[in-house]
Amino acid sequence: MHKEPKVSESSLYQVWKNQRFKSSLKTGAGEEITVLDAGNHNDSTSGPDFKNARIRIGNLTYVGDIEIDSNYSDWKSHGHNIDNKYSKVVLHASLFNRNHYGFVYTRDGRKIPSICLSEFIDQSILENFRKEASDNQTEAKSDLKCSDAIKAIESATKEKFLYQLGAQRFEKKCKKVYDRLKEIQFLKELNIKEPVVSYELTSKFHEKEFKHSDFVSKEIWMQLFYELVFEALGYSKNKSQMMSLAQAANIPFLLKIEQDGVIIEKYESALFNISGLANSKESVTEQVSKEYLERISLHWNSIGSLYDGKTFDEAHWHFFRLRPQNFPTVRIAGGARLLKELIHNNLIGTLAKKIVEIHNLTVLINSLRSLFVIRSDGFWRNHYVLDQPANGEIKYFIGASRADEIVVNVILPFFAVYFEVFGNRNVSKKILKIYGIYEQKSENQIITDVAEALKLKDLMKRTIYSQGMIELFRNFCSKNKCLECEIGKMVFN
């Protein structure tokens, strides 16, 4: 089947701003659309593309927002249909609409006219769009300026440099873990209820000499673990939001919640109410969602009095351009189950025991990964968002790829610091060995592009090398620091 190219939406914005149409716009039903005011372009990374537009459809004038997509299907795949930021959209326009669908729907079920712009744009402009999309696709395959001359460099030289960069990246992760551990302990000593980010800490923090005996509290390690795991669950768009949620709904608060047969649902209640993602109860119509909201509301009535921290707003969270599997709702559901293991089943102790006692590193890696693959259950097994059942059953809240990311970016650096703090350097070295042989199941576009450009695709799955590729791209390639890069020095000199 012929697939239309992915045209840059910024090009489409210019068409809309300048109203570069060869004929009058019309809805699928044939009603004429008159654009009285194209609206103000929204420079933010979230929300509709044009705000406060005025259009007339037939005899009715509408004031609201305009959303412009490359393809009709983007409305749903980008999550606009479940995002309240798009509730004021009065017209959806896409360059391509293969099936000639005439409408899209907001989260509350309101029907919005959808028009296909390619029917109203001059053929020459359309061809320019296709050419631009094709050129961009070609250029995007390689962001390394040295890719054409890289064949002259021996593979061993490239591998050695990537290995060094991968090791450096691991050291940075360990430093981040240790720095946050010190912050949590310092704030605990000051008895501050709300976590404070590092730049707000007093001068006493920066002057303090920390000793290993400062870190004996189990609670601070649990809080650190919780924050780091939730940050990893946030994927790219909700990392800071998930971290903030873990700092707000912190371990001291969660420890006050009485454990019983519905402890996971109580954690969900706390997390969804504090996050602001359970605040739209009045507009919910689906019966299963209503029943779920009633249950977590009842839980919150009993545990809410234990909480005196801040709450967030639904607008704080991003759903735009995320696969439903990565929606914050699904990740929070997975996080609630990990919290039960952390708080009530000694997850940190279980992981530490495995790292110490399992000598076969391949067996150990599989064992660590398996602890973070979380199968779905309960309400969220069949929902990505409230009031809208998923098309099929959600098998995992946290799948193997995300479990890999958690092990590499959280568990290994966390326990490297943990065992270093408690004086077990042999185990810290063992963790470095695990990092050196770990092979990930997940894929990353940066890693793919760099591996292809360096002609080292066989190393893409090896964590230490793939992390080195990320470090190479972010610190050298993307900043044009070619002459500071060991590979670039050889190529360009």
pLDDT digits (tens, 9 = 90+) for 255-276: 999 999 999 999 999 999 999 9
Instruction: Check residue 135 and give its pLDDT.
Output: 56
Instruction: Check residue 6 and give its pLDDT.
Output: 65
pLDDT of 286-339, one tens digit each? Answer: 999 999 999 999 999 999 999 999 999 887 888 877 888 999 999 999 999 999
Residue from 331, 303, 304, 307 nearest 317 by CA: 331
Instruction: Check residue 35 and give its pLDDT.
Output: 95
| pLDDT band of 45, cuts 50, 70, 90 | low
Residue ranges of the domains in the chain?
9-118+126-140, 157-437
Instruction: Check residue 315 and give its pLDDT.
Output: 79
Q: Is the pLDDT of residue 1 over 50?
A: no
Q: What is the mean pLDDT of residues 122-147?
A: 66
**CA–CA gap between residue 1 and residue 74 (Å, rounded):** 18
pLDDT of 170-188, one tens digit each? Answer: 999 999 999 999 999 998 8
Long-range contacts of 16-19, Cβ-Cβ distance < 8 Å, separation of 24 or more: 16/49, 16/50, 16/66, 16/68, 16/93, 17/41
- Give the DSSP letter string of 40-103: EE--SSSS-SEEEEEEEETTEEEEEEEEEEEETTHHHHTTGGG-GGGTTEEEEEEEE-TT---E
| pLDDT band of 201, cuts 50, 70, 90 | low
**CA–CA gap between residue 169 and residue 290 (Å, rounded):** 46
Q: What is the mean pLDDT of residues 202-228?
A: 86
Q: Is the pLDDT of residue 108 over 90?
A: no
| pLDDT band of 83, cuts 50, 70, 90 | confident
Q: Tell me how far the alpha carbon of residue 434 is from its chain's centroid.
A: 25
Q: What is the mean pLDDT of residues 401-428?
A: 95
Q: Using an 8 Å Cβ cutoff, are 492 and 483 in contact?
A: yes
Q: Is the pLDDT of residue 218 over 90?
A: yes
Mean pLDDT value across the chain: 89
Q: Is the pLDDT of residue 429 over 50?
A: yes
| pLDDT band of 281, cuts 50, 70, 90 | low
pTM of the model: 0.74
Q: In this prediction, what percent of the chain has a pLDDT beyond 90? A: 63
Q: What is the mean pLDDT of residues 205-218?
A: 82
Q: Is the pLDDT of residue 148 over 60?
A: yes
Residue from 286, 296, 242 nearest 264 by CA: 296
